[in-house]
């Protein structure tokens, strides 16, 4: 099987496994990868990553430190937009409402990796999700599955930005796709609608001003006042800059069971502030939201009530 045919069959297999989009990038990529790396360095210098010190890993700047000998990157996007996202008392980011996307994506990508081995017996590969120190959005853009929007999310023409990303790094050359071109144009609705002005300039997020950061990553006992007064019900993540994006106006729904909100999320109300650590731990099993500790949930709910 030649390289082009294998690449086409690989992408078809990825869609069959449940991914919304798939693309391939050649390593080391074009000059834009270096520009994105420089942008990361400037972001870190401004301390816009706040306490997320793992963002400082040198591996983000040198992909060979993640997987030596990598020649191609397969990028995929998993659509996490479900059909049960009506307005509730407390709001939770859509990315975390269903089954833990890390596990969903890793499982599907492992199937793809094993399939590749049957076609390329001497290949080696590595699966990465956002817990890996990969410059993921830059490589997703390089592989053509979407462009980095002004809200810093990957945006696809058909599926908008409701995509969790995953990657396979492989030591074989595949046929690369054309890098995506930005289609944000003059639109800055995401910037204008952010209530805390966390998007300090197009493509740049100051985590210190971000509702999602403070409800998920902030380990302090209290939420800063300038964040709390703008919560408007958000207690785990924030979708404002995505909800307002025109590219998300007509995105296909994912009816897969893995993407559907867990029952407790649909029923979340004021009583949740009284749940014990054990009750929270039980409800958070198999969820990406377990990163938010029980005491943080109570903190966030209390802050939302008082906002």
Q: Is 226 left (phi over 0), alpha (psi -120 to 50) or beta?
A: alpha
Q: What is the DSSP code string of 216-260?
A: HT--SSS--HHHHTT-TTEEE---HHHHT-GGGTTPPP---GGGS
User: For the chain, what is the mean pLDDT?
Assistant: 96
- Burial state string for 28-52 with b = 16 or more CB within 10 A and e = fewer than 16: ebeeebeebeeebeebeeeebbbee
pLDDT for 154-176, tens place per residue?
999 999 999 999 999 999 999 99
Query: CA nearest 145: which of 78, 244, 98?
Result: 78
Q: How many CA atoms lie within 13 A of 195 on its CB side?
A: 15
pLDDT tens column, 217-245: 999 999 999 999 999 999 999 999 999 99
130 labelled catalytic: yes
Q: What is the pLDDT of residue 86?
A: 66
> Which residues does 171 contact at the CB level (< 8 Å), separation at least 6?
67, 69, 70, 71, 123, 124, 125
C-alpha 110/C-alpha 47 separation (Å) is 35
Catalytic residue chosen out of the listed positions 5, 62, 122, 130: 130
**Domain count for the chain:** 1
> pLDDT-based confidence at 83, cuts 50/70/90?
confident
Asked if pLDDT for residue 253 goes beyond 80, the answer is: yes
What's the pLDDT at 85?
64
Q: What pTM was computed for the model?
A: 0.95
Q: Quick one: what percent of the chain has pLDDT higher than 90?
A: 96
Residue-number span of the structural domain to which 180 is assigned: 1-307
Which run of H or of E encompasses 205?
strand 204-205
DSSP single-letter state for residue 26: E
Q: With bands split at pLDDT 50, 70 and 90, how would you rate the model's confidence at 216? A: very high
């Amino acid at each position: 099987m030649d390289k082009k045919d294998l690449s086409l069959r690989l992408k078809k297999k990825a869609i069959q496994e449940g991914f919304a989009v798939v693309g391939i990038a050649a390593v080391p990529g074009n000059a834009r990868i270096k520009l994105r790396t420089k942008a990361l360095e400037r972001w870190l210098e401004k301390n816009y990553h706040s306490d997320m010190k793992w963002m400082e890993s040198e591996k983000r700047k040198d992909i060979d430190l993640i997987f030596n000998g990598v020649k191609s990157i397969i990028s995929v996007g998993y659509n996490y937009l479900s059909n049960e996202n009506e307005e509730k008392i407390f709001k939770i980011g859509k990315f975390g409402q269903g089954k833990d996307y890390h596990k969903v994506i890793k499982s599907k990508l492992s199937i793809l990796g094993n399939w590749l081995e049957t076609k390329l017996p001497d290949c080696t590969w590595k699966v990465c999700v956002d817990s890996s120190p990969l410059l993921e959005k830059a490589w997703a853009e390089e592989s053509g599955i979407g462009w980095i929007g002004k809200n810093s999310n990957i945006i696809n023409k058909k599926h908008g930005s409701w995509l969790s990303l995953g990657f396979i790094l492989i030591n074989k050359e595949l046929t690369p796709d054309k890098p995506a071109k930005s289609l944000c144009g003059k639109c800055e609705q995401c910037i204008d609608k952010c209530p805390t002005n966390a998007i300090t300039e197009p493509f740049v997020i100051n985590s210190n001003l971000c509702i999602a950061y403070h409800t998920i990553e902030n380990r302090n006992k209290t939420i800063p006042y300038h964040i709390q007064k703008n919560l408007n019900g958000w207690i785990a993540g924030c979708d404002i800059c995505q909800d307002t994006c025109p590219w998300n106006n007509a995105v296909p729904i994912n009816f897969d069971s893995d993407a559907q909100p867990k029952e407790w999320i649909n029923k979340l109300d004021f009583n949740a502030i009284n749940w014990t650590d054990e009750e929270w731990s039980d409800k958070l099993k198999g969820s990406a939201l377990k990163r938010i500790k029980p005491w943080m949930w109570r903190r966030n709910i209390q802050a939302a009530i008082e906002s």
